[in-house]
Amino acid sequence: MVEQESHRKKPNPQKVAILRALPLEIKQQITGEEASAFIHDEELPDSMLAKLKDYLTDEEL
């Protein structure tokens, strides 16, 4: 059900741009669930936070 709700919510264009700008090796590690949570401004799984820790500031999280 949470997945359906996130698809109704419009993605945050800034966060979509952030994901696109990440190095390929990082993008390959991100799951669809993690990416969806990130671009829809949902609570991020710890696994996603660990993957992005070197690329984001506290304000972006």
List per-residue pLDDT tens for the chain, 61 residues long.
Answer: 455 554 578 999 999 999 999 999 999 999 999 999 999 999 999 999 999 888 777 765 5
Model pLDDT, residue 42? 94
Residues 6+ apart with CB under 8 A from 15: 38, 39, 41, 60
Cα–Cα distance, 9 to 47 (Å, whole number):
23
8 Å CB contact between 30 and 48: yes
Model pLDDT, residue 28? 96
Q: Give me the residue spans of the domains in the chain.
A: 2-52
